[in-house]
Amino acid sequence: HGVRLWMLWAAKKLGLAAEIEKVEAPFWRPVTIRHLSLTPASGTALPVNFQADTVVVDLNFRGWLLGRDVAFLRSIAIDRVVGSFRVPERRISIKQLDWRQLARLTPENFQVAKLDFDVTTATTTVNLRGVTLGASAIEAGKFFARQISVTSPFLRQTFRDLRGATSWESSRLTIAGIPLAPGLDLESLAFDLSHLARRRLGIDLHLDTYGGTFRASFEGRAREKFAVDVAGSASNISLAQIARAFGFLEPITGAVHASKFTFRGNPGEFLDATASVWMELTDFSWRARRADNVMLGATYYDRRLEVDQLYVRQRQNELTINGELLWPRRKSNWAQLPFRGQLNATIPDLNGFAQLFGATTGDFTGALLAEGEIDALAPEAHGRLAFHGEEVKFRGVSLDSLGATLQLSGSEAGVEKLEARHGEDFLRGEGTIDLAAPHHFSGRLTGAINDLGAYAPVLPAFWRASQIAGGATFDWRGDGTLAAHSGTMQLFAHGLQLPVAPLRLPLDLALEGSYSPQDIFFRTFRVANERISLGAFLMLGSNFVELQALHLDFEGAPRVTGTLFLPFSFSRWRASHSLLAALDEEQKFDVDLAVDQLDLGALGRALGEESAFSGVLNGKVAAFGPLPALQVTTNWHLAQIGASAARNSIDLQGRYAGGRAEADATAVFGVSAPIKLRASLPLLLQKSRLEAGTVLDPDAPFSADLNAPALFLEA
C-alpha cells in the first residue's frame, strides 16, 4: 500500500520505526490509519515512543505532485494518543533529521484528542493527561487538559481542568487565556514552526503573575552546532505566590521587582556564548537565608565577564562587588586569570550574612569589615584587599581580633598582618608568592594555644564528645617554589590529649626540624609523660625512614635503645596507606635494636590503651641489607606472661640469611614441661612475592619439629 510505504519511509527519515495495523485510503478522500506506533529505529538514540488509536489525514496531493515547499497535509486528526519522550543525559546527533521533510508535514488544520504524554529528564518529569487540542487557520480552536503534573527535586504540582483558546496561523501555534491558579494566568504560549525547514524553532511565553508579568522567548537553531537565543523579562513577581502556585517543596518569599536576561550560543559551550542578566530582588527569604535587597547586573561576551554591580543588603549588612574577568581560550593557572574588581563589605551581623550563603544558624557571630581593589588587567598588576573582624565567634569559639591584608604588585601577591587572637592564644602569618611559574614563595606562620579543649567545637564531630586538652606553640618558616621548597618548623605541646592512640592520656611533644626537597630532619623528636619518654633523631628521606639514638625510657630507666634505618618512603605511604607500596627493595635495611626489662602491660596502661600483650620483654634484633639479600639475627625472652604468678615464659632465637629462616622457640607455662619448636623455612623475600603472598619457596626443602608434652591447666 503506497500510503503505508510512504509513512514507513518518512518515519525512517526522522530516525523512527513505524508500525501500522491498518490503512484505509479511499481515492481522493482522507486516509485513516488504525493503531499507529512510532519507536526509536535501530541504531538511533532518539528516545521517543508514540501510539495512536486512530489517525485521519487529509493529504494535499498538489503539494505532493507540484511543489517542493508546499505542505503535504491539509489536516490531521489524532484520537487516543499515548507517548513519552526522555531527554537523553548525553548529547545525541540531530543531523539525521530531515528538517525540510519535517516542515512539510505541518498541516493546515489539526486536532488531537485524549493525549497522554510524559516528558522525563534526569531530574524532572512532566505528565500530560487527557489533553485535547485543536487549531485551524480560519477559526479559533480550543485547548483542554484534564491534568498536567510536574515533579522535580524542588517542586511538585498538579494543574487540573485547564481550558484555553488556540490559534494556528502561518505555522505558528498560540495557546492563550489559560487560568493556572487564582491570580496566575498563562496569557499566551506560542510555538513558531514556520522556519523548521531552516532548522529553527521558536517559543514565546507570557505569564500574568499576581499583578506582575513574565515574558520569555526562545529560538533554537540546529545547524553545524546547536545554538539558542533566549531573552526574557520579569517585573513585580511575588515569589511566595509563585512558589505556592507551582508547588515548590520549600517556602520562598520575596519579590522580583525587575529582571531581564539574555543568552545566545550553544549551552554545551557556555564559555563561547554571550549572556546578560539584570535582577532586583527584594525581601528575599528561603530557609534561613534572608536578604532585604539583592541587585545583580552582569554581561558575558567574548569570554569576558563584566559584573557591573552585585549589591546585597541584609538589614545593616551590605556587600558591593563589581569588576571583570577574562577567561582564556587555553587552560591557564587560576592564579594568572586576568581580572579586576572592587569589594566593599560592612557586615555587623556576621551570623545572618553567613546564613545567606548556607552556614548553619549560630555558627558565626560578630562583625566583619572588608574593602579593597585588585587590578590584574593593568600592564602592572596592583591592588590591596583588607578585612577586619570584631568579636567574631565560630561555633562558640570567640576571636578577640581577626584581620589580614592582601597586596598585589606585579606578579607578586603577599599576605600581611594576618592575625587571629583569642585571649592569650594567637595565630600570625605573613608571606609572598610569585603568581608566575615556578611560583617562588616565602612565608612564616607562628602561633600559640593555651588550651586545645577551648577549640573542641571546631574540631571533627567524632572528637567533640571525647577528652581534649593540652597546649602548644608552633613556628613554621619556608621558601622556595611549589615544586621544590625548604624551611624550618617547631612544635612544642604540653599535656596534649586527643581521642587517638597514643594520646588518650596527656603527653608532651617536642619537634624541631628542617625540610628540603630531599628529606625532612627532626633534630629534636621527643614524646613524654610522667612515666614514658621516647626520643630520637628522626629523618624522613625520599625512600627511607631513619631514627638515630632511639631511646624509650619507662619509669625512669632505659628500656629500648638502638638505631633504625628502614627503606620505606613516607610520602608513598601517606599517599597509598600501604607499607608494601612504600617499600624500596633496592635500599638497605640497617637495624640494631635492644629491649631491656620492658613491661608491656604497664606500658599500655601508661599510654591509656588496653594492651593485648603482657609480660616483661628482653631481646635484641639486628638486620642488614636490601630485601632480597637481607640478613637478620634476633633473640627474645618474654617472662611473667599473664596475671598468674606462675612461671610463664617464651624464648625465641631466630636467623635469616641466604633465603632461609631458622627459628628455635621454647615456651614454659607453670609446672608444665617446656614446649619446643624448631623450624627451617625457605623464604624468598621479594616485593612482588610479598604482594602476591608467595614468600615460601615451594621448590626448596623445609622442616618443622614441635615437641609438646602434657600441659597442666590451672584454674
Preceding omega of 267 cis (within 30 degrees of 0):
no
Compare 647 and 186 and report the one with higher pLDDT.
Answer: 186
* Mean pLDDT of the 52-81 span: 77
Closest CA to 195 of 227, 170, 175: 170
State the average pLDDT over residues 141-145: 93
Total domains present in the chain: 1
Burial (CB count <10 Å: 0-12, 13-18, 19+), residue 671: exposed
pLDDT band at residue 713, thresholds of 50, 70 and 90? low
Q: Is 268 exposed, middle or buried (0-12, 13-18, 19+ CB in 10 A)?
A: exposed
pLDDT for the residue numbered 326: 86
Is 568 contained in some domain? no
Q: Where are the beta strands (DSSP E) in 315-423?
A: 317-326, 339-347, 364-375, 382-394, 397-409, 412-422
499 band by pLDDT with thresholds 50, 70 and 90: confident
Asked if the peptide bond before residue 502 counts as cis, ω within 30 degrees of 0, the response is yes
Q: How is residue 384 written as a grid cell? A: 590591596
Q: Does residue 43 or residue 434 have the better pLDDT?
A: 434
**643 belongs to a structural domain:** no
Residue 21 lies in a domain: yes
- 569-590: pLDDT as tens digits: 998 998 898 999 999 999 999 9
Q: Running DSSP on this structure, what letter comes out for residue 109?
A: E
Task: Count the Cβ atoms, other than its own, within 10 Å of residue 522.
Answer: 20
Q: What is the mean pLDDT of residues 695-711?
A: 87
Confidence of residue 493 (pLDDT cuts 50, 70, 90): very high
Please check whether residue 25 lies inside any domain of the structure: yes
Residue 695 DSSP label: -
Residue 540 lies in a domain: no
SS3 293: strand
In a domain, 108, yes or no: yes
pLDDT at 95: 47
399-418 pLDDT tens trace: 888 999 999 898 889 999 99
pTM reported for the whole predicted model: 0.70
**Cα distances (Å, whole numbers) of residue 273 to 229, 266, 289, 301, 329:** 10, 6, 31, 7, 13
Residue 34 lies in a domain: yes
Mean of pLDDT over the chain: 87
- Which pLDDT tens digit goes with each residue over 622-643? 999 999 999 999 999 999 887 6
Question: What is the C-alpha separation between 188 and 172, in angstroms, rounded?
Answer: 12
- Does the residue 269 lie in any domain? no
Please give the angle made by the CA atoms of 437, 514 and 473, to the nearest 5 degrees.
105
**Higher pLDDT pick, 260 / 244:** 260
CA–CA distance, 136 with 145 (Å, rounded to integer):
19
pLDDT per position as a tens digit, 84-110: 988 766 655 544 566 676 667 778 888
Residue-range definition of the domain harbouring residue 43: 2-122
Q: Do the beta carbons of residue 675 and residue 664 sit within 8 Å? A: no
